[in-house]
Amino acid sequence: MDIKQIYIGHFSTLFCGSLIYILFRSSSLKMFTWFNILHLDTFFQRIRNYTSVINGNLPDFILYSLPDGLWMFSYISLVLYLWKNEVRYENLFWIFIIPLIAIISELGQLFNIIPGTFDIIDLLLYILGMLLPFVIYKKSITINL
């Protein structure tokens, strides 16, 4: 098992997805209220002032879908790492529960079961974020079902 999996596969994708939210998403999001409570709002606003120039030039999928795909990749990488890259019946639930919730939620939006707007790009990036760690780490993953 490679320690790069935790740093590159988990931390960097988690960080990049979070950075997109912090730098480019609307300041009306709940997390900005939390930043205010923690007295971090001024710090993040200064950073957002520098990135506001490119904000309008980013494609929507980078702003709205890519963070979810990165976070999904991060989650799968972390869970695989914690289970020593071994997929067994005992850990299938933990590996796939978050991706399943995300995918079912997105499909629920399609059928108006769950509030929100269905986006095929969101769905594709959830699926990619779930599958890519298995492809990238395939040499180190053991499947014992």
Could you tell me what percent of the chain has a pLDDT over 90?
72
Q: Which pLDDT tens digit goes with each residue over 7-22?
A: 999 999 999 999 999 8
What is the average per-residue pLDDT within 115-130? Answer: 97
Domain carrying residue 102: 4-144
For residues 133 and 69, the answer to whether their CB atoms sit within 8 Å is: no
3 state SS of 86: strand
* Total number of domains in the chain: 1
In eight-state DSSP terms, residue 84 is T
Q: What's the predicted TM-score (pTM) here?
A: 0.90
Q: 48-74: per-residue pLDDT in tens?
A: 888 887 878 899 999 999 999 999 999
CA distance 85 to 88: 10
The SS3 assignment for 113 reads coil
Q: What per-residue confidence (pLDDT) applies to 1?
A: 60
